[in-house]
Amino acid sequence: MIAFLKTFKRAVDRLDRNKYQVIVVILSSIIIEATLPLISILLISKIVTMLVSPQISPQVYIHILYYFILTMLPHGIAYAREKYLVGLRSLLTVKMEKSLLHKVLSTSIPTRNSIDFSNSLTRSEYSLVPGQIMNLIKFTSEAMVGLITCLVVLINLFVIHWSIAIVIVVLFFVTDRFLYKSNANYWSLIFGQSLKHRMTQSIESSFLSDNGNKELRILGHFGWLKEKWKATYKDLLREKWLGYVKSQTTLSSLNFTLSLIPLIVALLLTHFLNQQSTVQVIVLFKSLEVIVGYFFGFTNDLRASREAIIQFTETDKFLEAEYEKDQRCFLATKKTSSIEMSSVSFRYPNTENDALKNISLSIKAGNIVCVVGENGSGKTTLVNVMLGLYPAQTGNIHYDEGRVELPLASSMFQHFLKLKTTPRDNIVSGDVSDRDNNQRLERAIKKASAEFIYMKGVDIQLGHQFGGIELSGGEWQKLALARAMYSEHNLVVFDEPTSAIDPLTEQQLYSKIINEMKGHTIILVSHRLSAATISDVIIVMNNGEIQEVGTHSELMNKKGKYYDMFTKQAQSYQIINEGAV
């Protein structure tokens, strides 16, 4: 019970400013509801005493009226408490989910991608999403009502005959131990399935996502992937079913044990019933009626409360765990124009080799920098570390000569954000602090050549699944570009956002970006080299290291890695053009 109360307090503490009101309301209802059965028993004793007396007093009718009021009062109190708890449970869930979201957003990206964090997050989501955790306050408070009621009535039974009380107490402790072990084993199994559960979700997302669904239809691989999903999901359900059967077998055995209470009590009654008065006999049977009813309810509430406590504890433990925080949680972010990296290295969690090795570079304000390299060379990792998304293990990064701790930047990535709300939301999310600035919105739309938005509607709903319209790939791309234009930061990063378009269109787009954002520090990341020819500085990445740095003409004259890459790409485009002719 101490563990119950501690966890109950932890849940109430999560309600912040409402917690004292919650404690007063719940404790008041528990005390009143728990003492009503005893008052009812004492009132019956009084009524029977008055009825068996030689002369019936008129007061008996008033006592009978009181008794009927008492029989109705618990239902009214329970209804009011349940109505109050419904809102309270919803509030608790909202606060827990908000805390969970904050935890995920404030944790560093490498830690978020680790298996330990992912498993803990899955277990917490399992507890929150189905809503089981909402029952913590409900079932714990109901279990407390049942416990106090049983204790009060047990004292009354002990006065009548000690053996009845002892038998019920022994059966309770036996039941409690079995319930505790059964619940712990079952939820240990459920939480142990986090990895398998995530795997089934990953396969399901392949079916449900637009791109995955289209590709699977074209390839005709639905059957193969469905069998893979079926095997994983079947194994998951089999383990869960076996655990459930074991848990229900234990529960059935306990219910059988509890059903022995009336039989044992009846045997005890035959031993001493003749020695009791009529009033005592009636009080005894009324007490047994109350305690048997509350005892069954109490054991069920206790079981449900334990399940909710296990789930709440799992989520609470995740929220209180110390994970590596994202640097933006404790470092100030400001607009940035220049970046200096000195001997910076970075390694992904659970890997043996550095993804970046001893990187040193200087990006001056207003420079147009193009980061090129083959797939897997470290281009994107370099940008993520440069922007502070990944913390460097060694070395130093300075922004604006140390005047800025972390940079604010406009950005557009290969897999950019697509909000299925409105075009306006997609654009103004670049700077939500100024989201009502229509002139700024119009400038961003014009710079991104996204005037098609006016034809469709700036505030129209997007996404067929929400009753809205669908945008083409090119339209989404222009919407993302408009968002980058709207943010108006000094540092602008484009990480292969044009990989789906042809090189000529890509070069035209980059030329437009550079023309519209003159004076900004622009970083372009691409495995194609069309953007490199219009850049001030080219950084050539190879196997996590900077292999070459220079202008296009300098690197071509050097005839190194960049020269080889550019020559091969130029030859491939020439072959394609000749084939087209």
Q: Determine whether 234 is exposed, middle or buried from the number of CB atoms within 10 Å of its CB (0-12, 13-18, 19+).
A: exposed
Give the pLDDT confidence of 375-413 residue by residue, as tens digits. Answer: 889 998 999 899 888 888 899 998 888 777 788 888 888
pLDDT of residue 578: 43
pLDDT of residue 579: 44
**Can you tell me the distance from the alpha carbon of 49 to that of 56, in angstroms, rounded to the nearest whole number?**
10
pTM, 2 dp: 0.65
Residue 365 gets which letter from DSSP?
A: T
Binning pLDDT at 50, 70 and 90, where does residue 576 land? Answer: very low
pLDDT at 287 over 80: no
Binning pLDDT at 50, 70 and 90, where does residue 25 land? Answer: confident
**Can you tell me the distance from the alpha carbon of 370 to that of 406, in angstroms, rounded to the nearest whole number?**
21
Question: Are 283 and 44 spatial neighbours (Cβ–Cβ below 8 Å)?
Answer: yes
pLDDT at 447 over 90: no
Question: Are 74 and 33 spatial neighbours (Cβ–Cβ below 8 Å)?
Answer: yes
Quick one: which of 330, 25, 27, 285 has its CA closest to 160? 285
Q: Please calculate the CA angle 267-268-271 and round it to the nearest 5 degrees.
A: 95
Q: Which of 106-115, 160-169, 416-425, 451-460 has the lowest mean pLDDT?
A: 160-169
pLDDT at 133 over 60: no
Strand pairing report for 406-413 and 333-335? parallel
User: Which helix (DSSP H) or strand (DSSP E) does residue 526 occupy?
Assistant: strand 521-526
**Can you tell me the distance from the alpha carbon of 358 to that of 119, in angstroms, rounded to the nearest whole number?**
33
As a whole number, the mean pLDDT across the chain is 77
pLDDT of residue 2: 64
pLDDT at 108 over 90: no
Question: Are 396 and 431 spatial neighbours (Cβ–Cβ below 8 Å)?
Answer: no
Which one has a higher pLDDT value, 425 or 154? 425
pLDDT at 357 over 90: yes
Q: At a CB cut-off of 8 Å and minimum separation 6, what does 282 contact?
A: 44, 45, 48
pLDDT of residue 339: 92
Question: Are 525 and 386 spatial neighbours (Cβ–Cβ below 8 Å)?
Answer: no
Binning pLDDT at 50, 70 and 90, where does residue 94 land? Answer: confident
Question: Are 445 and 417 spatial neighbours (Cβ–Cβ below 8 Å)?
Answer: no
Rounded to 5 degrees, φ, ψ at 538 are: -115, 130
Q: Which of 65-79, 202-216, 426-440, 516-530 has the lowest mean pLDDT?
A: 202-216
Quick one: average pLDDT of 329-340?
A: 75
pLDDT of residue 73: 81
Binning pLDDT at 50, 70 and 90, where does residue 577 land? Answer: very low
Quick one: average pLDDT of 465-492?
A: 86
pLDDT at 274 over 60: no
pLDDT of residue 309: 76
**Can you tell me the distance from the alpha carbon of 403 to that of 490, in angstroms, rounded to the nearest whole number?**
15
When mean pLDDT is compared over 9-18, 144-153, 167-176, 383-392, the highest value belongs to: 383-392
Helices (H), 109-161: 109-112, 115-128, 135-160
Give me the domains of the chain, ranges plus CATH numbers.
Answer: 2-320 (1.20.1560.10), 333-580 (3.40.50.300)
Give the pLDDT confidence of 210-229 residue by residue, as tens digits. Answer: 655 555 555 555 566 667 66
